[in-house]
Amino acid sequence: MKKRVQIFDTTLRDGEQSPGFSMNHAEKLRMAEQLERLGVDVIEAGFPIASDGDFEAVKEISKRITDCQVAGLCRIRVEDISRAWEALQYAKHPRIHTFVATSDIHLVHKLNMSRQQVLAAAVSGVTYARNLCEIVEFSAEDASRTDPDYLCQITEAVIDAGATIVNIPDTVGYAVPDEFGGLIRYLKENVSNIDKAIISVHCHNDLGLAVANSLAAVQNGAQQIECTINGIGERAGNASLEEIVMALLVRQAYYHTDTSVNTKEIFPASQLLAEITGNEVQPNKAIVGRNAFAHEAGIHQDGMLKNPLTYEIMTPQTVGVPQNLLVLGKHSGRRALDARLQDLGFTFSKDEINSIYTCFTVLADHKKTITDEDLVYLTKVGLESTDSKVISKNIQEYINQ
């Protein structure tokens, strides 16, 4: 029987906190509307007490979004929670998300509080939040570096106080998959009331393990993953939404887990975020990078032309990419060259393709990517002469133009 994991998108909160990714009011609204089309379960719209701008954005998003829960982040202080609710009260499905650090590193060096003081403050904050809102999420900041038994204690206490979701963040990206999955399993086995709340995880990517840690958590009982479009976020970023969703879909027979995400809206969401922030997606980014469905090697191109399943585990259309791309470069073979020429309206015999391919390899040694304009030129020079010196001379003149 398949499970269902909730997708909690924090692009507009944690994602926006990364340098160079801030958004104005109108941009946050555009992004929120795209996230609703994407079909995420929760949109974390911002940190209302952080600024008047953030407050207004959370308030407006709460008014506009109807299909998703809208969350606002707040510390466990009464004034933070009140400010969050002031913005969230307009939402059809509001969620107060409150947090406090629980690791000894944070307690000693940041909060200057004892474990018992933090426990009492967490219970007090959650109790107050639950009096305002039916859906309350509590996050134990730096949970992956928190003493497991203390983490169990505070988790049990906040659930008793009314938390409906308990979030276990790997705040600094310190955990590794077996360890993090084991922590989720430990909580399930040692928190007596854990069945009364949803277990969530929020993983950062400092060691490049955010997605792997999130998936390990799902295998061990987590029912919600917090993530962002394009994996943006503090420092090295968050778990990437598109990678999480597609891993669960492509490997559904392994994970036995579904999401509510409309995968065809993944690429549009990625492109919109890049447009709004001015930060392009890295070319080799899984799922949404421009090379994710591009093929240059001749062997790969030959396989793709025979059957895309040879080198693609998902179709580009699944994530909203119009089509895969056979990139013509020095690694390409005759078959890909012939296919592209046919797309351009040319039909050549095998011998003619061989002649054009000879010219193609000479040009490809000088250019990283061969354009359609280059191909039109090659169809002429390739059929004019088979002399290698003449070909080299003609192509060198073409390059120098």
Whether residue 170 is found in the same domain as residue 315: no
Position 205 confidence tier, pLDDT thresholds 50, 70, 90: very high
Which pLDDT score is estimated for 74?
98
Whether residue 364 is found in the same domain as residue 268: no
CATH number of the CATH domain containing 37: 3.20.20.70
Which pLDDT score is estimated for 375?
81
Whether residue 256 is found in the same domain as residue 366: no
Whether residue 319 is found in the same domain as residue 256: no
Question: Is 376 or 195 the better-scoring residue by pLDDT?
Answer: 195
Which pLDDT score is estimated for 294?
73
User: pLDDT per residue over 102-127, tens digit each?
Assistant: 999 999 999 999 999 999 999 999 99
Nearest alpha-carbon partner for 253 in 204, 313, 340: 313
* pLDDT reading at 80 higher than 90: yes
Task: Decide: 154 and 125 in contact? Cβ < 8 Å.
Answer: no
* pLDDT reading at 324 higher than 60: no
Whether residue 253 is found in the same domain as residue 305: no
Whether residue 356 is found in the same domain as residue 209: no
Residue 338 included in any domain: yes
261-282: average pLDDT: 92
* Helix, strand or coil, per DSSP, at residue 201: strand
Average pLDDT, the chain: 91
Which pLDDT score is estimated for 270?
93
Residue 132 included in any domain: yes
Position 61 confidence tier, pLDDT thresholds 50, 70, 90: very high
Task: Decide: 7 and 244 in contact? Cβ < 8 Å.
Answer: yes
Whether residue 10 is found in the same domain as residue 43: yes
Question: Is 136 or 371 the better-scoring residue by pLDDT?
Answer: 136
Whether residue 266 is found in the same domain as residue 309: no
Question: Is 206 or 342 the better-scoring residue by pLDDT?
Answer: 206
Residue 379 included in any domain: yes
Helix (H) or strand (E) holding 74: strand 69-75
Domain boundary among 245, 277, 309: 277
Lowest mean pLDDT among 43-47, 111-115, 200-204, 269-273: 269-273
Q: How far apart are CA 231 and CA 273, in angstroms?
A: 11
* pLDDT reading at 326 higher than 90: no
* pLDDT reading at 307 higher than 60: yes
Please give the tally of structural domains in the chain: 2
What's the predicted TM-score (pTM) here?
0.83
CA dihedral 65, 68, 74, 76 (to 10 degrees): 140
Q: How far apart are CA 40 and CA 36, in angstroms?
A: 6
Domain boundary among 277, 307, 339: 277
Question: Is 391 or 288 the better-scoring residue by pLDDT?
Answer: 288
Residue 284 included in any domain: no
* pLDDT reading at 285 higher than 90: yes
Whether residue 313 is found in the same domain as residue 245: no
Position 193 confidence tier, pLDDT thresholds 50, 70, 90: very high
Structural domain boundaries, residue 354: 294-400
Question: Is 258 or 383 the better-scoring residue by pLDDT?
Answer: 258
Q: How far apart are CA 17 and CA 30, in angstroms?
A: 18
Whether residue 196 is found in the same domain as residue 269: yes
Whether residue 104 is found in the same domain as residue 54: yes
User: pLDDT per residue over 153-182, tens digit each?
Assistant: 999 999 999 999 999 999 999 999 999 999
291-317: average pLDDT: 73
Whether residue 186 is found in the same domain as residue 334: no
Question: Hey, which bits of 252-327 come out as E strands?
Answer: 257-258, 294-295, 325-326
* pLDDT reading at 368 higher than 80: no
Nearest alpha-carbon partner for 341 in 366, 316, 377, 306: 377
Which pLDDT score is estimated for 217?
98
301-316 in b/e form (b: 16+ CB < 10 A) is bbbbbeebeebbebeb
Residue 158 included in any domain: yes
374-384: average pLDDT: 76
Domain boundary among 277, 302, 331: 277
* pLDDT reading at 30 higher than 70: yes
* pLDDT reading at 327 higher than 70: no
Residue 359 included in any domain: yes
Which pLDDT score is estimated for 21?
93
* pLDDT reading at 355 higher than 80: yes
Nearest alpha-carbon partner for 331 in 286, 300, 292: 300
Residue 286 included in any domain: no
